[in-house]
Amino acid sequence: MQSPMQSPKKHKFTDRLFSRLKIGLTLALLVNGSAAMAELGEPEKDELRFGFIKLTDMAPIAVAYENGYFEDEGLYVTIEAQANWKVLLDGVIDGKLDGAHMLAGQPLAATIGYGTKAHIVTPFSMDLNGNAITVSNDIWEQMKEYVPINDGKPVHPIKADYMKPVVDKFTAEGKQFKMGMVFPVSTHNYELRYWLAAGDIHPGYYAPHKGDSSGTLNAQALLSVTPPPQMPSTLEAGTIHGYCVGEPWNQQAVFKGIGVPVITDYEIWKNNPEKVFGMTKEFTEKYPNTTARVVKALIRAAKWLDENDNANRPAAVKILAQSNYVGADYDVIANSMTGTFEYEKGDKRSVPDFNVFFRYFATYPFYSDAVWYLTQMRRWGQISEPKSDQWYFDVAASVYRPDIYKTAAQELIEEGLMTDADFPAFASETGYRAPQKEFIDEVVYDGTQPNAYLKKFSIGLKDEVL
């Protein structure tokens, strides 16, 4: 395998160009003797550099590289791990990176100007699920007093209700209860806040208009940023009492014997959107063919990861275990990537959908996914003032780009690499999912009614300004 840190070679480009010209001419002649079927043009830019963070959900990028899908599109890609999410985003904004594995909230936050202002778009959703909440062994022992037990094992899902007495005890003793998450606009932050608030534990507000971006205003549990690979060591040091992160860093806590994953994000919100592939709007407009070809390669990789009931996952784990990708032990990565998840040591359960890359319309950039992230930014004060429903819709449409996705998917269909049946999400002409009901607090989410959704929560901002 060629190392993704090396400059890729162009040994196939001439042959591929000639082949594409022949195919295009043949298609044109077949359709009423005219060029009725326009083939996607050659890439305007063929040497690309992509960034990622060392998490298993970067898998579509690694697979597209290792399986040659980027090269099939005439793209010669270099892939580089980034130190943290801010460095990664800055790299895309300043052009050092042409695109990257991103937190779903990053393109939205940048576009509305929360943090660094830049118009970032996503034409591809990378996965569903994939995160979990882990607590230290000591906190777990205290929680277990309140957790229902059946046949000697905890009954799942484990709600934050069972943590509330522990947090209340900390408060009564004048101690701070601290938890880690990976970034202020990460799914992990919003999932952790959602879970805590559902258990009547206030995770705190942001007040950027007052110069307070700590997110700890009125907090009963203090949340702070910790880079994913540092989560286990930070927990072990006692700096935090728990964290929310993607894999393999929850399973790492189990392997090291320092913590217990108590709930997966699948149990907080079934089949929730997780990471996206982000690029600047300027890049997608300047290089539209290149952009569509990148999406084509990523779609193929996502399908490969899920096809035949995850039959390719062991091969994917072998790729991800390489030091230039995730770099964790094979067994640690496989614990979740191959359809199982270990909670308390020895309590390994089947969770076939812990990581989803293609099933359930996972790759389609739904506007309703974008709206949900925006509602959480508003709920916790990152968006300081109330916004109209139309504002949510407009921002979602400016960042999430199903039009680019559809161009790529249609090309794959025309080339015979995929079929219409692979893209049932096209049936949703609005770009919005049907109302989603499977949340841990049973609150129904309808992306077409963002303000009505916010009003359903007892903890969180609605019409007020802090």
CATH code, domain carrying 407: 3.40.190.10
7 domain residue, yes or no: no
Q: What are phi and psi of 313, to 5 degrees?
A: -60, -40
Same domain? 260 vs 172: yes
Q: Could you tell me if residue 390 is inside a domain? A: yes
The residues, ordered by sequence, that sit 6+ positions from 185 with a Cβ below 8 Å of its Cβ are 103, 105, 106, 108, 109, 114, 115, 373, 377, 382
Q: What residues make up the domain containing 323?
A: 13-128+273-427
Sign, CA torsion 357/361/365/370? negative
Provide the strand spans (E) within 326-402: 340-342, 348-350, 355-356
Average pLDDT per block of 10 residues along the chain, 466 residues long: 43 41 35 45 98 96 98 98 96 98 98 96 98 98 96 96 98 98 96 98 94 94 94 97 96 97 97 97 98 98 97 98 96 92 94 95 97 98 97 98 96 97 83 95 98 98 89
Give the list of residues 6+ apart from residue 175 with CB closer than 8 angstroms, or none. Answer: none
6 part of a folded domain: no
Identify whether residues 292 and 409 lie together within a single domain: yes
The β-bridge relationship of strands 128-129 and 221-225 is unpaired
What distance in Å separates the CA atoms of residue 215 and residue 208, rounded to the nearest whole number? Answer: 9
What does DSSP assign to residue 257? T
What is the H or E stretch that residue 258 is in? none
Residue 269 DSSP class: B
Query: Same domain, yes or no, for 196 and 115?
Result: no
The SS3 assignment for 58 reads helix
Q: What is the pLDDT of residue 216?
A: 97
Please state the three-class secondary structure of 219-261 as a single string.
Answer: CCEEEEECCHHHHHHHHHCCCCCEEEEECCHHHHHHHHCCEEE
3-state secondary structure of 275: strand
Within this chain, do residues 75 and 49 fall inside the same structural domain, yes or no? yes
286 and 416 together in one domain: yes
Residue 464 resides in a domain: no
Residues 155 and 255 in one domain: yes
Number of domains into which the chain is organized: 2
Q: Which of 244, 190, 59 is nearest to 253 (CA)?
A: 244
Please report whether residue 306 resides in a domain: yes
Determine the pLDDT at residue 210. Answer: 87
pLDDT of residue 426: 78
Residue 136 CB-half CA count within 13 A: 18
Same domain, 282 and 235: no
Regarding whether 305 and 253 lie in a shared domain, the answer is no
What is the predicted pLDDT for the residue at 29? 32
pLDDT of residue 137: 98
What would you report as the CA-atom Rg of the chain, rounded to the nearest whole angstrom?
22
- Return the pLDDT at 5: 52
> Considering the domain boundaries, does residue 463 fall inside one?
no
Question: Is the domain of 170 the same as that of 239?
Answer: yes
Residue 277: how many other CB atoms lie within 10 Å: 25
